[in-house]
Amino acid sequence: MANYDFQVLVLGSGPGGYVAALRAAELGMKTACVEKMETLGGTCLNVGCIPSKALLQSSESYEFIVERAGEQGIAVKGATFDLDAMMKRKATIVKGLVDGIAMLFKGKKIERLQGTAKFIDPHTVDINGKKVTAENIIIATGSESISLPFLPFDEKRVVSSTGALSLKTVPKKLLVIGAGAIGVELASVYRRLGSKVSIIEMLDTITPAMDAAICKQLQTLLKKQGIEFYLGAKVKSGIINDASVTLSVEYENKPMTMEGDVVLVAVGRRPYTKALDLDKAGMTLSPKGFVPVDANFRTTQPHIYAIGDVIEGPMLAHKASSEGIAAVELIAGHETHLNYMAIPNVIYTHPEVAAVGLTEAEARAAGLDIIIGTSFFRGNGRARCSGETDGFVKVIGEKKSNRLIGMHMIGAHASEMIAEGMLAMDKKATIADIAYACHAHPSLSETIMEAAQAAKGS
Ligand code: FAD
């Protein structure tokens, strides 16, 4: 480490960066983390996973009381909600978590540097005029929302997910462009609170990363809840009026106009490398704007690593954190383990969607001989007791080895249940391992076992 200020300097404090910094400090390395925002935690804690889940929970609790509590013999008359109070609760949750990271940094003696980092040379970074040198640097600067060229964000009428997480009033009519995870989650929040919601999607499916059978079921259920879908539709232009936005859309080969008081543009996110001056560190971006890395997260400069949304791969918080730990352990000379096939992907709609491994289409495209088993929650005792009978679990195995290669589910608490699939994938379990494992009764997880039993018999 000789003449450097730090052994590890992490650029960005999202779930990639702060987890990397914590692990580096735990391994005894002199560590600093640079963050341009006032709070730590990145997109995930400040304007992503956490605030969206807080609002999803509040709106879901409200809808349960109004729409479904009656099924269980509970009569609640005149239930109302207070958007401002929901937003304050969200802010309190975020504050608690970001303050928690600051405390952890203090406790582990990680130096917190506030400002925007830009490279001066491969070992030196400028942070708002202050030069800092480091033996190893980890780029964890995350991603940003993509806007449409003809519809820039004003975060009032045309909002990114960030604006949608802080609306002051519930829109009467919300237009959502993009039916990915962020689009359908935020559409759900405002639909539950009374917005009329239309989702416009260029592809002919919603949530395209998921297994086709799950996408179909999710769309059916969201439609039943009142969300309108325009699939295969292209937004051509938009006009921002005083109190609304008008979109020109091509749908089923015909032009049409759609009007909403708020438009959420959720067409994806792109890696964020603005201001980093990567060329000063002798680095160039991939054609899609990602920081290119090898299997050990090393960039073309062997002492500069990159992790999280800024590198290729699914843009997920837990993927960023796992990469952060792996990169730091490699820097420390340890062996590490990260199995990309075992990274779960969750959508927090009601019901939730969760998946790990290959979809059926991916497995078939890879030429694999597969076995499939499906089991429905409507046959599950616990699901019936909870009044949560929508959805199913689908497991996919490779026929010859009997190994699990994909698990997909739509149903209550899928975000928690997918942990079984994640561990099974990571530990290379077989379909029989899952089918014969004695699952608690009554529990939703029995549906996983029964799907595996169905696959075994198929
Ligand atoms: P980020 O969290 O984006 O953090 C990067 C940090 O770097 C930021 O704080 C930024 O300010 C800072 N930075 C950037 N450039 C510089 C610079 N030059 N100098 C100093 N600091 C800099 N993922 C899930 O897994 N589950 C979910 O449920 C989920 N929900 C989401 C909901 C929404 C609405 C959004 C927008 C995202 C969601 N995500 C979810 C995605 C998740 O937030 C990201 O995958 C994750 O935050 C990526 O972590 P990261 O550390 O790579 O980057």
Instruction: Indicate if ligand 1 lies below 6 Å from the C-beta of 112.
Output: no
Mean pLDDT of all residues in 55-84: 97
Instruction: Indicate if ligand 1 lies below 6 Å from the C-beta of 39.
Output: no
pLDDT at 458 over 90: no
CATH of the domain at 432: 3.30.390.30
Q: Is position 399 within any domain? A: yes
Q: Which residue among 9, 36, 39, 44 has the greatest number of ligand 1 atoms within 8 angstroms of its CB, and so is best to mutate?
A: 44
Same domain, 11 and 136: yes
Same domain, 37 and 128: yes
Q: Is position 1 within any domain? A: no
Same domain, 174 and 93: no
pLDDT for residue 110 = 98
Asked about 441 being catalytic, the answer comes back as yes
Centre of ligand 1 from the C-alpha of residue 44, in Å: 5
Residues 456, 458: Cα–Cα separation, whole Å: 6
Q: Whose CA is nearest to atom 29 of ligand 1?
A: 49
- 210, 240, 267: which is the final residue of a domain? 267
Least confident of 258-262, 334-338, 410-414: 334-338
Q: Is position 152 within any domain? A: no
Same domain, 36 and 140: yes
Which tens digit of pLDDT belongs to each residue from 98-126? 999 999 999 999 999 999 999 999 999 99
Cβ(449)–Cβ(424) below 8 Å: no
pLDDT at 221 over 80: yes
Percent of the chain with pLDDT over 90: 98
Mean pLDDT of all residues in 389-396: 98
> Which structural domain range is residue 425 located in?
342-456
Q: Is position 153 within any domain? A: no
CATH of the domain at 226: 3.50.50.60
- 338, 365, 385: which is the final residue of a domain? 338
pLDDT for residue 434 = 98
Q: Is position 183 within any domain? A: yes
Closest CA to 199 of 260, 154, 119: 260
Mean pLDDT rounded to a whole number for the chain: 97
Which tens digit of pLDDT belongs to each residue from 288-317? 999 999 999 999 999 999 999 999 999 999
In 108-218, DSSP assigns E strands to 111-114, 117-121, 124-127, 130-139, 143-145, 158-159, 173-177, 196-201
Same domain, 163 and 251: yes
Q: Which residue among 43, 184, 285, 315 has the greatest number of ligand 1 atoms within 8 angstroms of its CB, and so is best to mutate?
A: 43
Mean pLDDT of all residues in 78-107: 98
Helix (H) or strand (E) holding 396: strand 392-398
- Tell the burial category of 311 from Cβ atoms under 10 Å away from its Cβ (0-12, 13-18, 19+): buried
- 338, 356, 391: which is the final residue of a domain? 338
Same domain, 139 and 275: yes
Which tens digit of pLDDT belongs to each residue from 329-384? 999 999 998 999 999 999 999 999 999 999 999 999 999 999 999 999 999 999 99
pLDDT for residue 457 = 82
With tokens 């406790």, the residue in question is 107
